[in-house]
Amino acid sequence: MLKLFIKKFVKGSTPPAEASIEDEAASATLPETEINDQYIADQPITGKAEDRFNRVFFATRIAETIATRADPSSIVLGLFGPWGDGKTSVLEMMQEVLNSHPKVIVVRFNPWHFQNEDLLLRGFFATLADAMGRSLPNMKEKAGDLLKRYGSILSLASLTVGGVLQVKPGDAAKGLGEAMSNVGLDELRTRIEQMLDDANKRLVILIDDIDRLDREETHAIFKLVKLSASFRHTSYILAFDDAVVAAALGERYGAGGSPAGRAFLEKIIQVPLHLPPADENSLRQLALEGVDNALAQAGIKLTQPQIDAFVRYFDDALLPRLETPRRAKLFSNALMFALPILKGEVNPVDLMLIEGIRVIYPNLYTAIRENPALFLRGERDDGGATRRGTPNRIDELIERAIPESTPDERERVTSRLLAPLFPRIGSMIYGGEWDKIWEAEQKVSSSQYFKRYFTYSVPVGDVPDTQVAALCEAAPSASDAEMRTLLEAFASRHGLPRVIARLRQREESLSQDQASALITAFALNGNLLPRERGMMVWTDTRAKAGMLIAGLLRQVPAGELRQAEAERAIQIAMPIGFAMECIRWIRSYADTPPERKVLTDCGEAPLTAILAARIQESNTQTPLFIAHPKDAPHLYRTWADATSVAQVRQKLESVFDSNPEQLDNFLACYVGEAWGMESGLPSPADFAREQYNSVTYLISGEYVAANLRLRFGEELASPQFHPSDTMAQSRRVAHQFMAVHQYVLQAQSAASVPATGNELD
């Protein structure tokens, strides 16, 4: 059983399935065979049949114009578009059309394969030679020889933009001189052109990804085009981001900068064409198909309200900046990674939107991650209202994160994306009661869940929700030893506080068997529960576990079954102080509504009787102030109230009579901790009147005073209530006890003196 549970403990469980994103998007459902654990590769399409963005007509028009061109002169076309917009896919469709024309020889040249200018030149003409050799088998040898010789000569020269060659010094110059003396470049070019004339062929050279070269390589490729584009019967189609390339070229030519680079491009590109923007509806469908596939692979099915929420915020704030197919694929791949790793641990809609921000607005994502308090709490004026409509830290942060956006876009992102994710930055007021709601829904607006969205993990001290669900599932059939092992695993990661918090959230959804099993597990293992200390700690984890047991008892049918379950819990709860804590939360009070009572009024008395019997038995083995020092004051009081003060007093005095110094340990149990306002460090609190009253309820004040005087001597005749900090703690408590004791005796004496009527004189 334990091995099976541990497996579930790690993997978690699958949420209920109800609907899908693609139902809402009205897009085609992916075949089941296509759903796998692979990311979407950023690969171009291979032909017109795969066109999703209505660009086939654009690609066909360019290809047909080139293929049927009657003018034999060379021409250079530029296909401009941003990275990821689909330029390579358009080239693939153009090549498909060009291949259908027998008089066209298509050459794909990839400049990335060559690391310097010399290799680039040789590689380019070797590529041409290979393509022509395959298309002109009768001229293969001749074509290869001519083109390779031409490329070799160019590789030995220093290229200039004007096409003038300057011979390099040294051995290269000698080789170039010999080559030029036999066959000059002009003659080689003429022979190549004649060969194309004879074959009635046109070379169409496609060069892609120029915008991904470094600056030197970019310069070299355009030099190459400038020198070789003078061939007749050749056409070039160069695909690149014109803004990127213009900036690279502008560093060397003209006055510098992008304008100079564009001026240079105009000298080389005769036909500049801009890639038509991808249709927004097609991009939307591509993105939502990827979302649906990622959800399917993660085994997550959204409810209809979740789908409605995601689609609305996606359409309003993410879709307008999706812009390119590559971004749609990046978004899908981001979800492919994030959804499985955080399945069951966060709100899936919030996670998809946060990942959308990471892909579309990366700087904004970083700003949110690094400013959690600002987004979780918002900015409020003195009246408690969130300040919107006037510049504030959030507005300024968003403007810095997306400076290229317009004010309208920033407002749209804020109101239609960020405010739904982080409601407290909006215009409405959300009080503290919303924290529990957001936590129950695993929202990114919950401080308990925020980090998970940005670390892709459950932080140390937190607990995966899937493990809590698995704990509930396994509890009814697990043995006590198995449950102990599992709770110890949580405790070793400091996760029990979160386990209890999660169980309290879901206690009303648990079955009777689950509730009963969890009552047993926590009652038996109360010694694993931490008792946190701190100035602002009002309720520690052990107390919250007592609340949990009270809540779990409400899931057991009222009457004899619940009464028996409650009595069993008090009988087995360990340590005994935890049993007392459980009674504290099971008990009803004057202001407890009837529907919130765990037991009937008469049903609480048996619990106290069980606890008193356990206290008495425990004290017989070891005095409570030694075995349970933190709980001893309340345990003694419970024992005395359930039996008699005289019985408790007799037990205590018998211990102190035989060992007087044990009184110091007893008094120490009543001294709490004080926390420095500036330092925040703990120190022993004062033994004041409240502590004195608690002690003397059980044992005579004069008995304690006599014990202290016997051991500390005459110094207690004038006790100090504020002794030096260097005084030993037991002596310090003795002084404070005696100071209070003397004050009480004086007050009692004054109260016993008859009034004379002139006390105020």
Give the domain ranges of the chain. 54-274, 279-455, 461-643, 647-755
Categorize the per-residue pLDDT at 677 as very low, low, confident or very high, splitting at 50, 70 and 90: low
Residue 95 has pLDDT above 80, yes or no: yes
Mean pLDDT of the chain: 84
Q: What is the pLDDT of residues 46-69, one digit of tens each?
A: 888 888 888 899 999 999 999 998
**What's the average model confidence in pLDDT over 227-254?**
83
Instruction: Scan for tokens 């400076």, then name that residue.
Output: 403
Task: Say what the pLDDT of residue 450 is.
Answer: 95
Question: Can you give the pLDDT at residue 301?
Answer: 94
CA 464 remoteness from chain centre: 13
| Buried/exposed code over 400-421 (b: 16+ C-beta within 10 A; e: otherwise) | ebbeebeeeebeebbbebbbbb
User: What is the architecture of the domain spanning 54-274?
Assistant: 3-Layer(aba) Sandwich (3.40)
Q: Distance (Å, rounded) from C-alpha 20 to C-alpha 406?
A: 33
Q: d(Cα 253, Cα 240) in Å, to the nearest integer?
A: 19
Question: For the chain, how are helix, strand and coil distributed in percent, rounded to 5?
Answer: 65, 5, 30
pLDDT score, position 480: 95
Q: Helix, strand, or coil here: 684?
A: strand
Mean pLDDT over residues 218-245, rounded? 84
- Which amino acid belongs to residue 36? N
Number of H helices, E strands in the chain: 37, 9
pLDDT band at 162 (very low <50, low <70, confident <90, very high): very low
Q: What is the pLDDT of residues 610-639, one digit of tens each?
A: 999 999 999 999 999 999 999 999 999 999
* Closest alpha carbon to 54 in 326, 360, 331, 325: 325
Residue 422 binned pLDDT confidence (cut-offs 50, 70, 90): very high
- Per-residue confidence (pLDDT) for residue 185, from 0 to 100: 65
Angle at 444 between CA 442 and CA 446, to 5 degrees: 70
List CB contacts of 332: < 8 A, sequence separation 6 or more: 40, 287, 289, 290, 291, 293, 294
Strands 202-207 and 104-109: parallel
pLDDT band at 41 (very low <50, low <70, confident <90, very high): low
Tokens representing 34 are 């296509």
Query: Is 50 exceeded by the pLDDT of residue 499?
Result: yes
d(CA 395, CA 402): 11
Answer whether 12's CB lies under 8 Å from 467's CB: yes
